[in-house]
Amino acid sequence: GLFFKTDGTQMYMLGDQANDVTEYSLSTAWDVGTATFSQRSGTLADNAPSGISFKPDGTRMYIIGTTNDRVYEYSLSTAWDITTLSLVRNFLVSGQETNPGGLYFKPDDGTKMYVCGNTPTGGQVHEYSLSTGWDISTASFVQTFSVSSQESSPEGVSFKSDDGTKMFIAGWASDAVHEYSLSTGWDLSTATFVQTFSIRTESTLNTGLFMKDDGTAFYTTDSSQDRIFTYSIGEQ
């Protein structure tokens, strides 16, 4: 899992060996070549964390993992400082997904949550509605969209953040990023496949995806190389 602070000056990476979040500072925003280690969080509630997301103001962090099949909501007493984490609540997704990978929240109000995974029916994305934004205790399942024709083991999910009319999926089965168009923003029932971009030349075990808010770049993680890759997008 991978996430960036809204201004691109801090980067957060999940690991399932230490079961924690590692924070890096970027001296040049969005340039991972300028990243330096900053600090680590304490041990997370799931010992195989796979997806990470933040509230845009940095006061809430969300983790999903493959051991407990739950989304965990953490409060940060100091925004963006992962050493100030405290667990608030959790939400079980095993009714829809027993091997969750990526996690994404609708960024403007937190009223939608998306989980991707590959069990029990192959690659899929699940949509949840939150009656109170950013409060996962108010989440309810809405629908599932299959991506198995493109990716059987999705590990990362992201959206066009301003209107939700595009969805992006990445995983280790195809080692590619797949783009989908949504005729109604944020509504998975309106999603259709558009195109695929292969990252196999660089990555052979893709485990995460983060799309920059302005659509000009995306970032992937590779667990076989312990590397983060940046890709530039010429047209949004």
Q: Which two tokens stand for residue 232?
A: 């530039």
Contact 14, 48 (CB under 8 A): no
pLDDT tens, 58-96? 999 999 999 999 999 999 999 999 999 999 999 999 999
Neighbours of 32 (CB within 10 A): 17
pTM, to two decimals:
0.96
pLDDT computed for residue 101 by the predictor: 93
d(CA 201, CA 188) in angstroms, rounded, equals: 30
Is a pLDDT exceeding 80 seen at residue 234?
A: no
DSSP 174: T
Q: For residue range 122-134, what is the model confidence (pLDDT) as tens digits?
A: 899 999 999 999 9
pLDDT at 16 > cutoff 90: no
CB neighbour class for 9 (10 Å; exposed up to 12, middle 13-18, buried from 19): middle
CA–CA gap between residue 145 and residue 188 (Å, rounded):
6
Q: What pLDDT, on the 0 to 100 scale, is given for residue 50?
A: 93
pLDDT, greater one: 108 or 201: 108
